[in-house]
């Protein structure tokens, strides 16, 4: 795509210092310019005629050049890319006026084309070099780190996201199974990127790839050896209700024979590429993995997650501090023995949940009722009510899953206790109801739930705590 005259003028203006009689900007930079300056000039050249003939070579140079800079210098170049390379203002004004005068489809198309910032073409050309995609993803990661306080980077961020959304389209992703036959260069990425339940070195990784486990990842051919997202699955008999037996098992654990399993538990999903934030993969991954597993193991009947409830404690504490704390009087009374004299509901909860409270059967039994009920309350609030929905719930419910079961002490590792008093949740992916669940959730905020969860929430009114905890 050749530039118009006026765009060139704009480039000339921008890079005036290096332009020599209007032509020099297509030259490669002089050897004595700084690295930063060199990168900027290469970017301009890449968008010029020179870029048309020698695009891949120039793109390679630019990428090498960016890689060689310090982070601060690179940030300066990125800011330049973000602050320049806007559409030709005269042309855009003309197209906007034409559209307003006569809003035909053709005029709309022309306006869209006039409004495309040349920056997008520049980024597409940078992508031509070997390693170009990886570099652009890395640049966006840096940009995201600065974005909150550096608004000047927003246009560049937006253009990158737009391109990534198109380039990393589901149709271009490859699902690969990952197991102990996979290369170390990929496997070590799992250790690095696992975001839910930390992988503690190679022996732990090996345990997660034993025959009763499955692991799948999406890859894109422009990022070889780089998983974009991966999911860890345990094959079980029935819904797993706790992560401890899944994670903390001996190295030579055997587990259920895969052909005997009736359930696939998705117990960890991790996005790997910070630079691709905003491009969603999880929904597709889960659904394709369900299909893969069905094909391999036709006896599988349930496909469900074992998920954390990261926002429960924070929500509950806010509730307890509010004017209408959600504990019933009966519940508050049962907490007394463990409250150490505390009087407010929040203090009572804090007192009751100090130390390793879950290993004290009496405490655990007492707390189970109210906490399970309130977890149901927390998770079943309608998304339409304007309330902040739990982030993990939002993801799975938005994918069309159903809230199937709430599990007491499903995660007694520190993070699980801290986030949600150890409560974990199964979200069930039932292909028959996914579309309807999703639609209801998006349109009305309604949370699809099992009868069991429904009943759990109902327990508040009906009965005392003792029953609830049984």
**Which of these is catalytic: 45, 65, 82, 307?**
307
Residues 20-59 contacting its own copies, CB under 8 A = 26, 49-50, 52-57
Residues 69-98 contacting its own copies, CB under 8 A = 83, 86-87, 89, 92-93, 96-97
**Which of these is catalytic: 197, 270, 396, 420?**
396
CA distances from 185 to 26, 192, 205, 224, 226 (A): 40, 11, 13, 10, 9
257 binds its own copies (CB under 8 A): no
Q: Write each residue from 5 to 24 as x if it is in contact with its own copies (CB under 8 A), else as -, in one continuous string.
A: --------------------
CA distances from 323 to 319, 326, 379 (A): 8, 9, 21
CA atoms of 309 and 424, how far apart (whole Å): 6
- Binding residue for its own copies, selected from 7, 41, 271, 399, defined by CB under 8 A: 399
Structural element, H or E, at residue 216 = strand 213-220
Q: Write each residue from 197 to 216 as x if it is in contact with its own copies (CB under 8 A), else as -, in one continuous string.
A: ----xx---x----------
Pairing of β 263-271 and β 302-305: parallel
- Binding residue for its own copies, selected from 133, 236, 366, 420, defined by CB under 8 A: 133
48 versus 353: smaller Cβ distance to its own copies: 48
180 versus 318: smaller Cβ distance to its own copies: 180
Range 386-394, long-range pairs (CB < 8 A, 24+ positions): 388/311, 390/309, 390/310, 390/311, 390/312, 390/315, 391/310, 391/311, 392/307, 392/308, 392/309, 392/310, 392/425, 393/309, 393/425, 393/427, 393/447
CA distances from 167 to 1, 136, 171, 443 (A): 19, 12, 9, 29
Shortest distance (Å) from residue 449 CB to its own copies: 17
349 versus 428: smaller Cβ distance to its own copies: 428
Question: Is 396 among the catalytic positions?
Answer: yes
Residues 439-458 contacting its own copies, CB under 8 A = 439, 442-443
DSSP E strands in 409-458: the ranges are 424-428
Residues 140-179 contacting its own copies, CB under 8 A = 155, 158, 163, 165-167, 169-172, 174
First-to-last C-alpha distance (Å) of the chain: 71
Residues 306-335 contacting its own copies, CB under 8 A = none
Candidates 35-43, 344-352, 387-395, 397-405 — which segment interacts with its own copies by CB under 8 A?
Answer: 397-405
CB 352 within 8 A of CB 338: yes
4 versus 109: smaller Cβ distance to its own copies: 109
Nearest Cα neighbor of 226 from 144, 124, 138, 127 is: 138
Residues 281-310 contacting its own copies, CB under 8 A = 283-284, 287-288
The alpha carbon of 241 is separated from its chain's Cα centroid by a whole number of angstroms, namely 24
CA atoms of 100 and 281, how far apart (whole Å): 38
Candidates 33-41, 257-265, 404-412, 432-440 — which segment interacts with its own copies by CB under 8 A?
Answer: 432-440
Residues 103-132 contacting its own copies, CB under 8 A = 103, 105-106, 108-109, 111-112, 115-117, 124, 127-130, 132
Shortest distance (Å) from residue 435 CB to its own copies: 5
Shortest distance (Å) from residue 450 CB to its own copies: 19
Q: Write each residue from 354 to 393 as x if it is in contact with its own copies (CB under 8 A), else as -, in one continuous string.
A: ----------------------------------------
**DSSP class of 307:** B
Q: Write each residue from 212 to 241 as x if it is in contact with its own copies (CB under 8 A), else as -, in one continuous string.
A: ---------xx--x----------------
52 versus 452: smaller Cβ distance to its own copies: 52
CA atoms of 400 and 428, how far apart (whole Å): 9
CA atoms of 157 and 355, how far apart (whole Å): 45
Question: Is 197 among the catalytic positions?
Answer: no
34 versus 444: smaller Cβ distance to its own copies: 444
CA atoms of 425 and 390, how far apart (whole Å): 12
Residues in the chain: 470
Shortest distance (Å) from residue 441 CB to its own copies: 9
Shortest distance (Å) from residue 91 CB to its own copies: 11
Q: What order do you get walking across the sheet with 402-407 strand by strand?
A: 173-177, 213-220, 229-236, 263-271, 302-305, 424-428, 402-407
CA distances from 286 to 57, 192, 369, 404, 410 (A): 39, 21, 32, 17, 22
Shortest distance (Å) from residue 150 CB to its own copies: 15
Shortest distance (Å) from residue 58 CB to its own copies: 9
Catalytic residues: 307, 396
């Amino acid at each position: 795509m050749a530039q118009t005259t006026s765009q060139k003028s704009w480039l000339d203006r921008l890079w005036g210092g290096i332009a020599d009689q209007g032509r020099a900007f297509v030259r490669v930079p002089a050897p004595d310019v700084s690295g930063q300056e060199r990168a900027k000039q290469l970017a301009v050249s890449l968008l010029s005629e020179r870029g048309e003939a020698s695009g891949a070579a120039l793109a390679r140079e630019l990428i090498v050049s960016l890689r060689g800079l310090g982070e601060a210098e690179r940030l300066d170049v990125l800011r330049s890319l973000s602050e320049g390379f806007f559409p030709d203002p005269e042309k855009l004004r003309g197209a906007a006026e034409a559209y307003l005068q006569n809003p035909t489809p053709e005029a709309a198309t022309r306006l869209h084309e006039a409004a495309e910032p040349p920056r997008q073409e520049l980024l597409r050309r940078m992508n031509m070099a070997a390693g170009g995609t990886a570099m652009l993803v890395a640049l966006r990661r840096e940009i995201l780190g600065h974005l909150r306080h550096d608004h000047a980077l927003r246009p560049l961020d937006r253009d990158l996201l737009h391109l990534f959304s198109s380039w990393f389209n589901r149709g271009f992703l490859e699902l690969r199974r990952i197991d102990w036959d996979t290369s170390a260069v990929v496997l070590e990425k799992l250790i690095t990127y696992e975001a839910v339940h930390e992988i503690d070195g190679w022996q732990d990784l090996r345990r997660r790839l034993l025959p009763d486990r499955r692991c799948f990842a999406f890859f894109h051919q422009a990022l070889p050896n780089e998983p974009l997202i991966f999911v860890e699955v345990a094959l079980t008999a029935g819904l797993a209700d706790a992560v401890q037996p899944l994670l903390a098992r001996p190295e030579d654990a055997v587990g259920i024979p895969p052909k005997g399993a009736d359930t696939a538990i998705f117990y960890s999903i991790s996005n790997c590429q910070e630079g691709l934030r905003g491009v969603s993969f999880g929904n597709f991954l889960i659904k394709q993995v369900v299909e893969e597993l069905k094909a391999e193991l036709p006896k599988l009947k349930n496909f469900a997650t074992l998920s954390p409830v990261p926002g429960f404690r924070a929500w509950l504490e806010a509730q307890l501090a509010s004017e209408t704390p959600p504990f019933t009087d009966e519940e508050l009374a049962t907490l007394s023995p463990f409250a150490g004299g505390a009087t407010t509901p929040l203090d009572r909860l804090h007192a009751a949940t100090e130390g390793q409270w879950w290993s004290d059967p009496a405490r655990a039994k007492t707390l189970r009722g109210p906490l399970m009920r309130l977890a149901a309350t927390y998770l079943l609030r309608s998304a339409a009510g304007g309330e902040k929905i739990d982030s993990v719930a939002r993801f799975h419910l938005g994918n069309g899953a159903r809230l199937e079961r709430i599990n007491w002490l499903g995660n007694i590792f520190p993070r699980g206790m801290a986030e949600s008093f150890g409560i974990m949740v199964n979200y069930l992916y039932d292909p028959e109801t996914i579309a309807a669940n999703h639609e209801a959730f998006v349109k009305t905020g309604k949370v699809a739930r099992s009868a069991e969860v429904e009943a759990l929430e109902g327990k508040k009114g009906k009965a005392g705590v003792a029953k609830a905890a049984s």
